[in-house]
Every structure is written in structure tokens, then in C-alpha cells.
Amino acid sequence: MIISPVLAANPVYIPADQTSSYRVELLQNGSNEYPLESGEIPFWQEVVGTNWTQRSSNPEPYDGDYYFFAGAGATAELRQDVNVSQYTALIDNGNQSFNFSGWVRSWDQSPSDVSRVIIEYLNHDKSYILASTDLGAYNSITSWIQVLHSTLAPSGTRHIRIRLISTRYSGTNNDGYFDGLSLTTSLPVPAAPQNVIVTIDGINVVLSWSPVTSTIDGYPINVSYYNVYASNSPDFVCDYSTLVGASPMSQISFSGWATSEQYKFFKVIAIAAD
């Protein structure tokens, strides 16, 4: 048989305009769309107030069908803690950034109630706040306002806490609203595996390569596993139809391929640990 390795630099699910990283959503139920569970908002913890719920009109949601509404009460706080310990090596090397985006609005009254988002970077047991950012107090009554925050996580960060604080200044309801919340990070793209070698071992085809230890930008990285793709043509696309195996090691064997395959071209792609 004729066999040949063909190197592929980036995972196939990376958008064409993101050659060095791709974004991963970390926040769950960021638009309050999940059905309530026993009257509670899934994935979020009530810290102050017990009336947090979904609201769908007056005003209209920014995203989807619902948004976060604190109900009645002078002050209310809802929070979600996001575990980011899987990025420990990159965080502690000063190479992992996190990006928050959200939308806030208030009810049309004077004085209007206030929405505030605070982001905290916590250590492994959440006993210490390594850094904190207050995105400010907003009371827009005419439109949803976007609030943004992006930063490198301080060394030692293992959790990121998103705090939603609503403060009432008029009426009975606490009308500081939140919607379209997102916390993302960029996972680095591993470099292409090098020194790919194809050998024949009896009736088996064995593929091996040098372990990948860095991104395409040269930063250290932990690789979870390698995807191996194969086709009878050298110009093929890496997708589910050409995926022939995966290995946590820098080697893989295909039983019987030495006698059953006439032509075979391979591509090996490293998949970063997430």
C-alpha cells in the first residue's frame, strides 16, 4: 500500500477568522431561558432576596424570551460561580484572558432602579478575592445597555464569580434587569504535530508523531488527545466522515490496514485540554 502523513495545523471546528484561538462559553443560563426548577433559576444562587425569577415583557427582553428579574425587595443579589481550574497552567503563566458581556435595563420610573454587575476572581476554595471589578451602576429606562469586561485572570484564579445586584429606588418591585449574560475564554490552538511517521507492523499500520507541547503562538499547552483523519486522497477535509481514530498518546495503530488499504493519507490534529 501507499501511505503518507499530511499535517493539519488547526482543529477543524475552528472558524477561519480565528487562527490562534477559539471562544468557549463558560456561563450557564446567561439569558434566563431555562425553565424554573421549583421556582428557582437554574445554575444561579440567590444571595440576597428570594424572589428572583423570569420576566418576559414591560420591557421586552434583549435576548430570547426572558430576562432576570429580582421581584419585590429593596436589594437583591444573584450570582454564579464558574470553575476555571481546567485553565490553571495558562492562568498561572499569565496567558489566559476572560471576557464578560451583559445587558442591563430599568423600569420607566423616577428615580429608576439600578442594575450592577460585579466580577470577582477567586482562589481554589473561594476564600480569597484575588481581583474584583465593578462594572458600574446603570438605570437606563429607554433601552438595554451593554456592559463589558475583559482581562487576564490573576495568577491563582480557580473560580470567577458573576454577581448581579439590583437596587430599588422607587415602587414595590426591584426593577434592575439583566439579560444576555456571557463569560467566555479563548482556548489556544495547538501547534501541528511534527515528525509524523507511518510504519507497517505485520498487517497493521502504525502512526506516530512527536508530542505537541505548545500552541501555534509558542505558548505552553496541555494536549488532551489527538484526532487522526484518513482518506484515499491527499486533499481531504477533516470532519466526522474522515475521522478514523483518537489517541491520548502520540501513537495509534490500525489493525489490518496494511493488507486492506491500497492508498491512505493521514492528518493528525492535537486537541487542547479544556
**pLDDT mean across residues, the chain:** 88
pLDDT at 106: 97
Measure the CA–CA gap between 13 and 131, rounded to whole angstroms: 33
Taking CA atoms, 247 is separated from 75, 192, 265, in Å, by 52, 15, 18
Taking CA atoms, 211 is separated from 3, 89, 225, 227, 272, in Å, by 21, 18, 10, 13, 12
H-run or E-run covering 182: strand 176-188
Q: Which CATH class is domain 21-188?
A: mainly beta
pLDDT at 4: 46
Q: Strand pairing of 197-201 and 159-167?
A: unpaired
The least confident of 86-90, 155-159, 253-257, 260-264 is 260-264
User: Terminus-to-terminus CA distance in the chain, angstroms?
Assistant: 37
pLDDT tens for 184-236 read: 987 777 888 888 888 888 888 899 999 999 888 787 888 888 989 888 888 88
Contact 244, 3 (CB under 8 A): no
Residue-wise burial string across 157-190, b where 16 or more C-beta atoms lie within 10 A, e elsewhere: bbbbbbbbbbbbbeeebbbbbbbbbbbbbbbbbb
CB neighbours of residue 25 within 10 Å: 10
pLDDT at 8: 37
pLDDT tens for 54-108 read: 999 999 999 999 999 999 999 999 999 999 998 888 899 888 899 999 999 999 9
Contact 173, 124 (CB under 8 A): no
Please name which of 34, 36, 12, 32 lies closest in space to residue 22, comparing C-alpha atoms: 12
What is the residue extent of each domain of the chain? 2-18+189-272, 21-188
pLDDT tier, 274 (very low <50, low <70, confident <90, very high otherwise): low
pLDDT at 128: 96
| Residue 256 reports pLDDT greater than 80 | yes
pLDDT at 219: 79
Contact 84, 158 (CB under 8 A): yes
Contact 226, 192 (CB under 8 A): no
Looking at per-residue confidence, does 258 or 151 come out higher?
151
In terms of CATH, what superfamily is 2-18+189-272? Immunoglobulins (2.60.40.10)
pLDDT at 21: 58
pLDDT at 12: 31
216 CB-near residues (< 8 Å, 6+ apart): 9, 10, 19, 20, 188, 189, 190, 191, 192
Please name which of 173, 181, 33, 41 lies closest in space to residue 107, comparing C-alpha atoms: 173
Compute φ and ψ for 85, nearest 5 degrees. -65, -20
pLDDT tens for 141-177 read: 999 999 999 999 999 999 999 999 999 999 999 999 9
